[in-house]
Amino acid sequence: MDLSIIIVSFRSGDIIRRCLESIDRKYPIIVVENSHDDHLKSKIENEYSNVKFILPKENLGYGAANNLGIKEAKTNYVLILNPDTILLKDTLEQLLSHASKIEDFAILGPNIIDENITIDNKNLNDHENNKEKSVSYIKGFAVFINKSQFKEIGYFDEKFFLYFEEIDLCKRIIKKGKKIFFIPKALVKHSGGQSHSRDINNKMELNRNWHWMWSTFYFYKKHNGMLYAFIKIFTKLISSFLKVIFFTVTLQNKKKEIYSHRLSGIINSIMGKKSWYRPNLD
């Protein structure tokens, strides 16, 4: 088989185990763990003979860590998964089957469904709308990549630390005249917002707010120019500034901290500073 699975993880703990359990062990899996968790590396590699753990020297973020995994993979196809996803029994077979039929595709996107949904595959097979279709964008929870199509595109833009990476990648693919397909019958369950341990939820919430704002401005500046990006972010800039003042005066420290991080992310991106913020988890 010509497929490897790549999972970028950050203190995912038991969450990643559900994902690993849903993958047939005949497929090689590369986990890039951004938290330097040697204990988790040892446990997972001892339990799963098909899993290779990579511990980077620093927290690379989503895009750069996936790039590392892609370069490490020896196969032509790679499936990038979030740790809070679960594959169905025939997910990989569906993707590989379509990969063999569709010529010169760059990306296949499986159908992301809620974890609690029960699927009747007989109904899927009879539904005309469940045929593969050409699209301009797919969600980043699960991305099936044909590496042979990326020599002139490159993979993820490593300036993004978090958010907008797959949107940027899809936009560059389409600009190069390459193909993205959505495969409705290839189902992936996604729990959503559970890709890390719950004990770091508050710090990760601050991290998300900072990077969402930084990446929003950087994305629009990259593809549409500085003025357009500033117009897109202006309302969020003013809103964040006013809310920091309001929540400071009303002594709502938790909300003040969130909007302070949003404001900081916007200002740093406008100033052209790199996406430097990292959560303090000591």
| Length of the chain as a residue count | 282
Q: How many CB atoms lie within 10 A of CB 255?
A: 14
- 178 domain residue, yes or no: yes
pLDDT per position as a tens digit, 46-95: 999 999 999 999 999 999 999 999 999 999 999 999 999 999 999 999 99
- 116 domain residue, yes or no: yes
Whether residue 81 is found in the same domain as residue 208: no
- 282 domain residue, yes or no: no
Q: Whole domain around residue 232: which residue ranges?
A: 198-270
- 277 domain residue, yes or no: no
Confidence band, pLDDT 50/70/90 cuts, at residue 233 = very high
CATH number for the domain harbouring residue 185: 3.90.550.10
Q: How many CB atoms lie within 10 A of CB 248?
A: 14
Whether residue 119 is found in the same domain as residue 57: yes
pLDDT per position as a tens digit, 24-54: 999 999 999 998 888 888 999 999 999 999 9
pLDDT per position as a tens digit, 133-181: 999 999 999 999 999 999 889 999 999 999 999 999 999 999 999 999 9
Record the pTM.
0.90
Domain finish residue from 169, 190, 211: 190
Instruction: Provide the 3-class DSSP secondary structure of residue 45.
Output: helix
- 278 domain residue, yes or no: no
Whether residue 177 is found in the same domain as residue 202: no
Confidence band, pLDDT 50/70/90 cuts, at residue 14 = confident
Q: Quote the pLDDT of residue 195.
A: 54
The percent of residues above 70 in pLDDT, for the chain, comes to: 91
Phi/psi of residue 190, each to 5°? -135, 125
Give the count of alpha carbons within 13 A of 43, CB side only: 11
- 163 domain residue, yes or no: yes
Number of domains, the chain? 2
Whether residue 203 is found in the same domain as residue 172: no
Residue 123 has pLDDT above 50, yes or no: no
- 110 domain residue, yes or no: yes
Q: Quote the pLDDT of residue 127.
A: 43
Burial label for 213, CB within 10 Å (0-12, 13-18, 19+), is: buried
Whether residue 41 is found in the same domain as residue 176: yes
